[in-house]
């Protein structure tokens, strides 16, 4: 499943839910990706509109172009302006206990959307998917789902408007009815075309995509949205999930539902650089939410790939290569202050600021972020998870 595309597409970049790699192992070309997938670029006018509608500064990920593509986001904003609400849908495949900052990016953005627009959110934990693709036992994948839920909750979601569910717990009833409706509209050949299934893949994999499609429809959640079949759905996700939702959007009108809208993010780079791969087995390829201040210090200092020159003299003369510098990239994700970031980029790019200073600032920012997350995580108990995952009404979800 993982390496299927390689033979035919050695020349091209590969982006799908199970593999992401640039052309010839290089950087991802996002403009080409938008073209190929057929989604829209998120330009400044959108960001301004969001600021106007929500009366608060747009999230740092919008300002810095982390979330850079969309489908029908304008429809969502139009509806919102009319007074029609929408709900958010995002998810995680709980394949490991260790979450790193890259995993948190879509959740941090979703929290902002929830707060800014004051809308409800459903979070899907695809424990069944990981059980099938990573060959975990059912119990282990369920356990990981609950563990991951704690870190997700620690991102600060509002319990009075958030419903977290795991597939093994929730699939059935109205949700399953929608899964079947979706499944009936996608031929086996189509699924092979979108997801690359082969004769060797087991039927569990082939029947999984409708599971990820169903939460896009409000009727899948009768305890939340009963009577609100017209409610629109916005899905913040990383752009490699696009194939699932292209399929969903294709099917939706055929079964009488609205197409879900998407807002998509670029990939979070590994510590060793854009061309490096973040991998769960290499703890130095990413900053984990369980890392101590010492770990963060060590990882950034010893393992971050920088664009600084080899010697101080050369650096003062030529400046740093901002294109490949990881500390700058990470700062653009997590440093709130636009003015400060500009200043750092200018000085570093001109050689006035040294790599060590940039790294030091990054370590400060990351440590604060990770500490805040840990504080919140420490307060999440099994009872909290139970409450978030309970099938319960959310009476104030639009207030």
Partner 1 sequence: MGYSKDQLLARLKELQIDFSQYEHPVVLNVEAQAKYVGNMGGALSKNLFLKDKKHRYYIVSALADTKVDMKVLSQRLGLGKGGLRMAPEEALGEILQVPLGCVTPFAVVNESASHVSLLLDKGLKTQECCFFHPLSNDMSISVNVQGLDKFLKSIGRDPSYIDLEANPLVGKDQPPDLAVLVPSGSTVLPDFPEKAPSLQDSTGNVSAGNNSASAKAVKPSVNVQNVKKKSVDGQRPSIPSADAGKFVEELLDRASALLLSEISEDSIKQHGGLLGAEVANNFRKCLTEDLKNLATIFKNTAYTEGFYAGTHYQTKRP
Report the interface residues with partner 1, using CB under 8 A.
Answer: 96-98, 153, 156-160, 281-283, 290, 292-295, 371-372, 374-376, 378-384, 386-387, 390, 392
Q: Rounded to an integer, what distance in angstroms lies between the CA atom of residue 178 and that of residue 344?
A: 50
Of 243, 244, 238, nearest to 268 by C-alpha is 238
Give 279 or 317: the residue with its C-beta nearer to partner 1: 279
Query: Shortest approach of partner 1 to residue 154 CB, angstroms?
Result: 9
Give 229 or 386: the residue with its C-beta nearer to partner 1: 386
Which two three-digit tokens encode residue 96?
């490991």
Give 194 or 293: the residue with its C-beta nearer to partner 1: 293
Give 24 or 340: the residue with its C-beta nearer to partner 1: 340
Of 122, 90, 135, nearest to 241 by C-alpha is 90
Query: Shortest approach of partner 1 to residue 292 CB, angstroms?
Result: 5
Give 217 or 333: the residue with its C-beta nearer to partner 1: 333
Q: Rounded to an integer, what distance in angstroms lies between the CA atom of residue 287 and that of residue 370?
A: 9
Query: Shortest approach of partner 1 to residue 396 CB, angstroms?
Result: 11
List the Cα angle 252/254/257 in 5-degree steps.
40
Query: Shortest approach of partner 1 to residue 149 CB, angstroms?
Result: 12
Give Cβ neighbours of residue 117 (< 8 Å, ≥ 6 apart). 53, 54, 80, 86
How does strand 86-92 pair with strand 121-125? parallel
Q: Which CB contacts under 8 angstroms, 24+ apart, belong to 375-384?
A: 376/153, 376/154, 376/155, 376/156, 377/150, 377/151, 377/154, 377/289, 379/154, 380/150, 380/153, 380/154, 382/146, 384/150, 384/153, 384/159
Give 127 or 264: the residue with its C-beta nearer to partner 1: 127
Query: Shortest approach of partner 1 to residue 379 CB, angstroms?
Result: 5
Give Cβ neighbours of residue 384 (< 8 Å, ≥ 6 apart). 150, 153, 159
Of 267, 325, 307, 328, nearest to 101 by C-alpha is 267
Query: Shortest approach of partner 1 to residue 391 CB, angstroms?
Result: 11
Query: Shortest approach of partner 1 to residue 95 CB, angstroms?
Result: 13
Query: Shortest approach of partner 1 to residue 294 CB, angstroms?
Result: 7
Which two three-digit tokens encode residue 151?
């870190």
Give 84 or 368: the residue with its C-beta nearer to partner 1: 368
Give 105 or 261: the residue with its C-beta nearer to partner 1: 105
Q: Rounded to an integer, what distance in angstroms lies between the CA atom of residue 256 and that of residue 302?
A: 55
């Amino acid at each position: 499943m993982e390496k299927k595309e390689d033979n035919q597409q050695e020349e091209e970049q590969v982006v799908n839910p199970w593999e992401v790699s640039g052309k010839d192992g290089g950087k991802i070309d996002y403009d080409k990706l938008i073209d190929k997938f057929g989604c829209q670029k998120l330009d400044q006018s959108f960001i301004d509109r969001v600021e106007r509608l929500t009366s608060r500064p747009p999230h740092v990920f919008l300002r810095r172009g982390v979330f850079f593509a969309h489908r029908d986001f304008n429809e969502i904003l139009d509806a919102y302006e009319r007074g029609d609400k929408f709900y958010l849908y995002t998810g995680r495949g709980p394949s490991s206990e260790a979450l790193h900052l890259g995993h948190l990016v879509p959740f941090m953005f979703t929290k902002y959307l929830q707060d800014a627009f004051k809308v409800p959110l459903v979070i899907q934990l695809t424990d069944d998917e990981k059980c099938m693709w990573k060959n975990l036992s059912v119990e282990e994948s369920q356990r990981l789902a609950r563990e991951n839920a704690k870190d997700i909750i620690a991102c600060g979601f509002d319990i009075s408007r958030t419903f977290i569910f795991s597939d093994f717990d929730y699939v059935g009833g109205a949700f399953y009815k929608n899964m079947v409706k979706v499944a009936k509209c996608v031929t086996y050949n189509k699924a092979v075309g979108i997801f690359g299934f082969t004769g060797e893949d087991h039927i569990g994999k082939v029947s999984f995509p409708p599971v990820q499609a169903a939460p896009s429809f409000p009727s899948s959640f009768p305890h939340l949205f009963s009577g609100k079949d017209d409610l629109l759905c916005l899905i913040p996700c990383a752009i490699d999930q696009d194939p699932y939702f292209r399929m969903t959007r294709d099917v939706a009108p055929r079964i009488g539902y609205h197409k879900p809208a998407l807002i998509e993010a670029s990939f979070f780079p590994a510590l060793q650089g854009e061309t490096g791969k973040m991998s769960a087995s290499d703890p130095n390829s990413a900053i984990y939410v369980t890392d101590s201040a010492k770990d963060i210090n060590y990882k950034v200092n010893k393992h971050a790939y920088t664009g600084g020159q080899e010697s101080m003299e050369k650096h003062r003369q030529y400046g740093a290569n901002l294109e490949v510098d990881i500390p700058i990239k990470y700062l653009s994700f997590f440093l709130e202050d636009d003015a400060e970031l500009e200043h750092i980029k200018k000085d570093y790019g001109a050689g006035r600021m040294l790599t060590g200073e940039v790294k030091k600032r990054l370590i400060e920012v990351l440590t604060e972020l990770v500490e805040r997350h840990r504080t919140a995580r420490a307060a999440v108990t099994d009872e909290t998870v139970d409450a978030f995952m309970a099938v319960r009404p959310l009476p104030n979800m639009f207030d």
